[in-house]
């Protein structure tokens, strides 16, 4: 995750930074799911689901902004 943070902060291009942010999102989901399995609680799975939905939406919006320079059509 340290290398992903490096890519997020020092990425040469904006698409590299978006990809690093998406990778951090996937890592956060994985950690929440694993901790939820270990702790046997449902809250972690629900939080992982919310982070997954927000992360997907954020990635789509950022990619659309990079490609078109406009979010709302």
Rg of the chain in Å (alpha carbons): 14
- Against a cut of 0.85, is the pTM above it? no
| pLDDT tens digits along 10-52 | 989 988 999 999 999 999 999 999 999 999 999 999 999 999 9
The secondary structure of 11-67 as a DSSP string is -SSHHHHHHHHHHHHHHHHHHHHHHHHHHT-SHHHHHHHHHHHHHHHHHHHHHHHHH
The H-or-E segment that residue 5 falls in is helix 2-10
Consecutive H or E run containing 6: helix 2-10
**Domain limits, the chain:** 2-7+14-68
Residue count of the chain: 73
């Amino acid at each position: 995750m340290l290398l992903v943070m490096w890519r997020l902060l020092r990425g040469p291009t904006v698409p590299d930074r978006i990809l690093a942010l998406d990778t951090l999102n996937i890592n956060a989901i994985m950690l929440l799911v694993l901790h939820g399995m270990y702790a046997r609680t449902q809250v972690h799975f629900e939080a992982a689901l919310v982070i997954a939905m927000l992360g997907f939406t954020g990635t789509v919006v950022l990619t659309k902004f990079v490609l078109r320079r406009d979010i709302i059509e």
